[in-house]
Amino acid sequence: MNFIASVLFAAATWLNATSADIPAVAQSLPDDAAIRILVSVGGPGAERALANALASADDTNAVKLIKALGDLGSSEAISDCARRLLYATGDLKDVCLYALGRTTSRRAARLLSARISDGAYAAAYLRHGESLLELGRKQEPAVVALDLLGSVKSSPIRCGAVALLAAARGYAAQPKLLALLDDPDRAVREQAARQLSQMPSAVGLIAAFRRATGEPRRLLLEAIARRAEPANVPVLLEALRESDDAVRQVAVLALQNSVDPKVDAALAGMLTSPAQQGIALELLTRRRARAQAAAVMPLIHDPAVSKQAFTALGLLAGEKEIEQILSAALATNDEGFREQAAKAIAAAAPRLANNTRVVAMLTHVPESARAWTLSLLPAFGGKTALDAVVAASRGSEREAAVRALADWRDESALEPLLALCRESEDTKLRVLAARGAIRIVTRADLEKEQKAAWLQKLIETAPRPEEKQQAQAALQELEKQPGTLRRKK
């Protein structure tokens, strides 16, 4: 940058250069700093100064000057660009097309549209339409968009034309956008659907959806779903009955993500229809619709959907529903029913803030069901449950109780398990206790020193060489972890 240009550039930066600076700045063209100043100042004077310099510029300097005129959206470069495009390639061709696209001149539009089969010209023509739209013009951008859609094969350009048409014509573009849902180009079809989703009203989309078939039907439902309007929820619910899986999945996804609180109640209402129970359960589960758990409860007795209902309740059930599931399971000898009930109860248990009532139910059951209820207590945890299992480990259901202790979710069961390892006369129970204690120690959220201490105790009390080796291996693995263990002297 020469000295004069440096001074002028600093002045323009700090003192907001005006048109009065243009003659002095123009003397330094095509210096980069001078170009930047003129682009910053803008206006007819700056455009003429750049165009005058362009008239005698070689191709290398022409690239910089044409780019500047393009940045200003000037029409001053049209003639020069038209001449240079007769032979231009590379950067010069690109910048000439950029400048023509940035101008709103009709002559530029004619030059570009005449060679619209050339992808670079088509892209510049699209840019020309977008430049017109930026000025608030509507008719000419729509013409550009329709020209491109009718003559160009490039997916990106045609998609841009779809967006341009929608922006220029608004609601009036809807018939053309609907027709484009049958376009051979998938990208264009999807772009048309996106633009339809932004229409001022969904009324026309809903009517078109009900008439459409095949992929256009799916695309229209996607457009309706994107609007995320409560008024459109009934259409989405209708679509759950579609035979076309692609359409149905659009409705499922939209309803799953809907924030409309009425959706859960509508889905719960569908549970009374055998044909819709499955999809309603699926959606209530996905939406974590816990307020509808009571509506799901009756379906645990329906063989057609009981497994799905239990799965849903594992995520939705509260204390009341857990008690009802437990009562139903205790009232039957159906092992399959009890197995599904146990899974649901175990999944729901951690959500209970206060599990006292349920634990009391589990610990006061007929002897015939005691082994089954003991297996559920680890999911609830807490002192009351633990005390009940420890007491049971000295009764007739000793094995079920020890298995429950071995399956405990935290380290509170370690002391009882270690006591069993030391004191039980039944080798099988000692083995179960040792293996359960090793599992708990390795998974527990304990300090490294604490884990090591427990594992050392287990090595000393384990009933067989196999369990001693397991505890020793766990201790060796622990020693490999970051941090050090203080050895006893």
Query: Could you report the per-residue pLDDT of 80-101, keeping only the tens digit for each?
Result: 999 999 999 999 999 999 999 9
Rg of the chain (C-alpha set): 38
* Structure tokens, 233: 């929820």
Query: Could you report the per-residue pLDDT of 192-219, keeping only the tens digit for each?
Result: 999 999 998 888 999 999 999 999 999 9
How far is 156 from 140, CA to CA, in rounded Å?
20
How far is 247 from 237, CA to CA, in rounded Å?
12
How far is 480 from 445, CA to CA, in rounded Å?
17
Residue predicted with more confidence, 13 or 231: 231
How far is 198 from 195, CA to CA, in rounded Å?
5
Query: Could you report the per-residue pLDDT of 104-159, keeping only the tens digit for each?
Result: 999 999 999 999 999 999 999 999 999 999 999 999 999 999 999 999 999 999 99
How far is 440 from 465, CA to CA, in rounded Å?
19
Out of 5-9, 173-177, 353-357, give the one with best mean pLDDT. Answer: 173-177
User: How many residues appear in the chain?
Assistant: 489
How far is 283 from 258, CA to CA, in rounded Å?
11
Query: Could you report the per-residue pLDDT of 380-407, keeping only the tens digit for each?
Result: 999 999 999 999 998 888 999 999 999 9
| Contact between 316 and 296 (Cβ < 8 Å) | yes
Please tell me the predicted confidence (pLDDT) of residue 75. 93
* Residue 138, φ and ψ in degrees, nearest 5: -120, -45
Q: Is pTM, for the whole model, over 0.85?
A: no
Side chain identity, residue 39: V
| pLDDT(41) > 90 | no
How far is 457 from 453, CA to CA, in rounded Å?
6
Q: Mean pLDDT over all residues of the chain?
A: 90
pLDDT band (50, 70, 90) for residue 28: confident
Give the count of alpha carbons within 13 A of 263, CB side only. 31
Closest among 72, 166, 157 to 112, alpha carbons compared: 157
| Contact between 168 and 145 (Cβ < 8 Å) | yes
Please tell me the predicted confidence (pLDDT) of residue 6. 53
| pLDDT(377) > 80 | yes
Please tell me the predicted confidence (pLDDT) of residue 297. 97
